[in-house]
Amino acid sequence: CQPDLLETIPNDRISADIFWQTEADAELAANALYPTLDGLRTVTYDGITDILHTNRAFMGNYTIERGRATADHGRFLGEWDDAYEAIRRANDFMDNIDRVESDNADVINRLKGEVMTIRAYHYIKLAMLYGDVPLITKGIDIEEGRNVTRTPVDEVWNFIASELDKAASLLPVDNGSRISQGVANGLKARAMLFAGRYAEAAVAAKDVMDSGQYDLHSSYFELFQYEGEGNNEVILQREYAKGTDNHNPYTVLAPWSQIGGSNGSQYVPTAKLVDLYKMKNGMAINEEGSGYDTSNPYENRDPRLKYSIFVDGVPLPGGGVYNSTPGGDGSDPVGETIYATTTGFNVRKYVDEEDYTDPGNSGLNINLLRYAEVLLTYAEAKIELNEIDQSVYDAINAVRQRDDVSMPPITSADASSQTEMRAVVRKERTIELAFEGLRLFDIRRWKIAEDVMQGDPRGTYYVENDEVKQVEVAGIDRLFDPAKDYLWPIPERERELTSLSQNPGW
């Protein structure tokens, strides 16, 4: 008769009672925040915008893209849930970190800075998606949870700003792959841009630019490939590792022909985006004398087009070239199956040849904040402040002129007024940051969603009987109600368990 028969102590987890004692504990707890950073989800945000189409009618995202989701839609709850789970982890850290006995204040401060930054990262997302959200900064129990209320979004932005300032002061300039000062400042720049607080955005962006820590990588293509990992441009990324901490960008994004079974092509670019890429000479495709050839539409374009998107003629991971002409015998004919692209385009960012052989096991990192965005944020903030000086042109042109892009610079001859420059920076941002999870927030804050999110998306151009035709993606019929759709609803499920108010129109 063993006295301890009923005292089974688990040995595959640790008791909360013995934790929070050493510096090592603090580091372990801080590490647990990093997996909460978004990965491929960034791409799926773009999949509910005008530049990327959710290619599967039975995926939840499709309903949102069409503007027909209701408050009980799974994604509305899922995003909310994941963000608050991360925030809880951060709150638990902040609640307990002072229990740790350490002589090394630097380490503790550094870790606090990391955790505060990641918490702010999630609040930025929540504020952009839902507007007013409960601002929870400590671990709460069930009863407290039932009684929380929504904090006005301005206060949430205030919190984010002050947290990121505090974090920046605690963080070192160089912190390896971990959250550094640049992340806190860069996220603040993003947040303030979203919040429309342009002066603060410009200052924060300038702080990053002045830190000397970051530089544009010479190859745009490599930024989204294994080859480019460890470059100087990426400020924050969600890291993955094959085997142990893998994910599947290839399975999700690769052209249908490049992966067996009913996989790939879950999100496909639209003609809306493709047409935005200028000619190599800097002219828009519809400009007179641009040299745009309707029967050869993807040649002589901004090189970022083929780095970002599989269009006809782009080499495929398994060999051969991409071709999506409907009814043709190319690699990915539109309409061949419901799993093939419906627009005739495929995402190329994050589709790495190396994953072709083991598609479900990718270790490719996902960029969450890169220097190019900071430059464009700086430029946009300055333009919105109407402080258009040379530094604005420099920032935009730096992005346009990295080695493997080398587009002609924008000069004051091309654009000089605030309106002109606003158009320039927005276009640049759309192209440079395509599929990186910012488009949804951009069309919201620019208030252009009701214009761009209407009707059916369109696809690739092809020649049939000597006639240039364009693929049409029928039956999507997107709707966007400006009175309601600029914010997601507070998830219905959450409202059943709390007394949270609902956003207008939902």
Partner 1 sequence: QGSDSQTALLIHKEESKTGQLTSLGNELRRLETSYEVNIFYKSKEVQGKQVMASAGSQEGLEASLSLLLEPLNMQYRKLTPKSYVVFEKEKEIIKQETVEGTVTDQTGETLPGVNVLVKGTTSGTSTDVRGTFELSVPSLQDTLVFSFIGYQTQEVPIAGRTTIDVALQPQAITGEEVVVVGYGRQEKVSVTNAVSSVSSEDVSRRPVADAQQSLQGLSSGVTVRDQGGSPGDKNISIRIRGVTTLSNNDPLVIVDGIEQRFSDVNPDDIESISVLKDASSTAIYGSRAANGVVLITTKRASSSEVNVDYKGYYAIQDAINRPEHIGLEEYFRLENVAYQNAGREVPYSEAYIQEYVQNAPSPEYPLPFPWFRRDDLGILELAPQQNHTLAVSGGGEDIKARMSVRYQDVGGIVPNFSDETKEFRLNTDYTPSEQLKVSADLNYRSGETHEPGDGEFKVFNYMLHATKFSWPKYESGEYGLGPQVNNPLLFAEQTGDFRYQNDYLIGNIKGEYEFLPNLTFSTRYALRYSSTQQKRYWARYSNRDPLTDRFTQRQTNYLQEYRSYLREYTLNSLLEYTNDFGKHGVTALAGYSTVDNRRNRLTASRQDFYNNQVRSLNQGSEENKGATGRDFDYGLRSFFSRFNYNYAGKYLVELNARYDGSSRFSKDNRYSFFPSFSLGWRLSQESFWDQLKPYVNEFKLRGSYGATGNQAVDLYTYYQTLAAVNYTFDGEPVAGYAQSRLANQNLTWETTTQTNIGFDMEMMDSRLGLSVDYYKKVTDDILLGLPIPRLIGLSAPPQNAGTVENEGYEITIDYKGGNEFTYDIGLNFSDNKNEVIDLAGTGPYISGSSPNPTFITKEGMPISSHWGYLADGLFQSQEEADSWPDMAMNSNPKPGDVKYRDLNNDGVVNTEDRTDLGRSFPRFNYGLNMGFNYKNFELFTQWQGAAGHEIMISGGLNHQATYEAFTHAIYADYWTPENTDARFPRPIKGDTKNRQVSNRTVYSADYLKLKNVTLTYNIPTRFTEKVSLDRASIYIGATDVLTFSELTEWDLDPEIPSGRANFYPQVRTYTVGVNLRF
Residues 69 to 128 in contact with partner 1, rule: CB under 8 A:
70, 72, 74, 77, 80-81, 84-89, 91-92
Residue placing its CB nearer to partner 1 in the complex, 162 or 499: 499
User: What's the chain's Rg over C-alpha atoms?
Assistant: 24
Of positions 43, 170, 271, 498, contacts partner 1 by CB under 8 A: 498
Stretch that binds partner 1, among 151-159, 258-266, 294-302, 431-439 (CB under 8 A): 258-266
Q: What is the largest CA-CA distance in the chain?
A: 93
- Judged by CB under 8 A, does residue 7 bind partner 1? yes
**What is the enclosing helix (H) or strand (E) of 63?**
helix 60-65
164 close to 188: Cβ distance less than 8 angstroms: yes
Residue placing its CB nearer to partner 1 in the complex, 7 or 210: 7
Residue placing its CB nearer to partner 1 in the complex, 219 or 331: 331
DSSP string, 450-465: HHHS-B--EEEEEEET
- Half-sphere exposure in the Cβ direction for 33 (13 Å, CA): 26
Query: What are residue 52's DSSP bridge partners?
Result: 269
- Judged by CB under 8 A, does residue 339 bind partner 1? yes
Question: In angstroms, what is the minimal distance from the CB of 423 to partner 1?
Answer: 34
Residue placing its CB nearer to partner 1 in the complex, 11 or 465: 11
441-480 binders of partner 1 (CB under 8 A): 474-475, 477
d(CA 445, CA 193): 9
State the binding string over 8-47 for partner 1 (x if CB under 8 A, else -).
x-xxxxxxxx-x-----x--xxxxxxxx------------
- Position of tokens 């090189």? 303
Residue of 121, 124, 142, 141 whose CA lies nearest to 133? 124
Residue placing its CB nearer to partner 1 in the complex, 13 or 466: 13
- Residue 150 C-alpha from the chain's centroid: 25
Residue placing its CB nearer to partner 1 in the complex, 85 or 293: 85
- Position of tokens 């925030």? 87
State the binding string over 267-306 for partner 1 (x if CB under 8 A, else -).
----------------------------------------
Question: In angstroms, what is the minimal distance from the CB of 433 to partner 1?
Answer: 24
Question: In angstroms, what is the minimal distance from the CB of 108 to partner 1?
Answer: 17
Phi, psi angle pair for 443, to nearest 5°: -70, -20
The two tokens of residue 140 are 């709460």
Using left for φ > 0, alpha for ψ between -120 and 50, and beta otherwise, residue 437 falls in left
Residue of 315, 306, 317, 319 whose CA lies nearest to 226? 317
Residue of 236, 334, 241, 345 whose CA lies nearest to 298? 345
Cα angle: 150, vertex 32, 139; to 5 degrees: 35
State the binding string over 371-410 for partner 1 (x if CB under 8 A, else -).
----------------------------------------
Residue placing its CB nearer to partner 1 in the complex, 426 or 493: 493
132-151 binders of partner 1 (CB under 8 A): 134, 136, 139-142, 144-146, 148
d(CA 340, CA 446): 32
337 close to 323: Cβ distance less than 8 angstroms: no
Stretch that binds partner 1, among 153-161, 260-268, 412-420, 459-467 (CB under 8 A): 260-268
Question: What's the distance, Cα to Cα, between the start and end of the chain in Å?
Answer: 62
Residue placing its CB nearer to partner 1 in the complex, 150 or 439: 150
Residue placing its CB nearer to partner 1 in the complex, 407 or 473: 473
Question: In angstroms, what is the minimal distance from the CB of 318 to partner 1?
Answer: 8
- Judged by CB under 8 A, does residue 353 bind partner 1? no
Count of residues binding partner 1 (CB under 8 A)?
A: 85
Question: In angstroms, what is the minimal distance from the CB of 418 to partner 1?
Answer: 40
Question: In angstroms, what is the minimal distance from the CB of 116 to partner 1?
Answer: 16
Stretch that binds partner 1, among 102-110, 330-338, 366-374, 398-406 (CB under 8 A): 330-338
Residue placing its CB nearer to partner 1 in the complex, 20 or 435: 20
- Position of tokens 């009672």? 17
d(CA 115, CA 113): 6
State the binding string over 167-206 for partner 1 (x if CB under 8 A, else -).
---------xxx----------------------------
126 close to 83: Cβ distance less than 8 angstroms: yes
